[in-house]
Amino acid sequence: MVLTLSSPYIMHKGLFIWMIVCVPRILFAQNIADSISIQNKEKNKSAKTVFPFMFNISSVFYYTQDSKIDKFLGKYGYTQPQQMPVGLRFELAGIPFGGNMVYGLNAGTIVSRQDIVTADISLGIYYRFIHTKKISVLSGVAIGEHFDRVVLDKGLPPNLDSLAIKYNTTLSLHRTGFMVEPTAKFFWYPLQAKKIRIGFFTGIYYNMNFNSRWRVGYYPHGDDTFKNLRKPTQVSTIEEHGWAFSTGLSISF
């Protein structure tokens, strides 16, 4: 029996060879197309959830105390800080390239009633070790400057009273110091849109304020620059260490 090109055997054999050669290529090409499609979908999905900027505003409850200045304030009729002073803090943070590193500028002040003005400003660097669509947890450290001021418009010790008479002005106590603040923060975002999300956060801080000595001086009329008189104040300086807790509103955009 002679087989011809039109023989069913030849046709079946040719079809079998074509399937062996071509089908894997088709399947491989399909896998590549599917892979690219999935990657594009994931990329588009992640792009919608990247928020490179964050603004936080919070109330802060401080447990740090300075017994030296508190004693001075109480002795001469000034309002001492409360057992747990309440502050207000603002933070503007950036998250480059949608990564896990967060860089922030912090500014805060005490708002509860007292005769000592306290404020701080710092730069923070944090790492987001948990980051989902609605939850973020980060930790890091902020480093900056701490500032205290007491306007001596009430009672004065004799040595400062004579200075007030001599310069015919209202004196102030003033000090600044280096601050370090290890931090952990937890964020929850229940409200989300394409370009903004709004949520709440809580923070735990350990304040370490390395204050300089108290200086006595005054602020010339119409000038915010402190003029140091370089006189002893009889107020001891203490380094303040202690816990602080915050809770507030967070907006990512």
Tens-place pLDDT, residues 3-32: 444 444 444 455 445 445 554 454 445 555
pLDDT score, position 23: 46
| H or E element, residue 36 | helix 8-48
Find the mean pLDDT for residues 137-141: 97
Residue 114: CA atoms inside 13 Å, Cβ hemisphere, count? 24
Query: For 97, which DSSP code?
Result: G
Burial 162-201 (b: 16+ CB within 10 A, else e): ebbeeeeeebbbbbbbebbbebebebebeebeeeebebbb
Pick 106 or 225 by higher pLDDT: 106
Judge contact between 82 and 111, C-beta under 8 A. Answer: no
pLDDT score, position 208: 95
pLDDT score, position 97: 82
Tens-place pLDDT, residues 38-84: 454 444 444 445 789 999 999 999 998 888 999 999 999 999 999 99
Give the predicted TM-score (pTM) of the model: 0.75
CA atoms of 175 and 58, how far apart (whole Å): 25
pLDDT score, position 179: 97
pLDDT score, position 134: 92
CA atoms of 188 and 133, how far apart (whole Å): 9
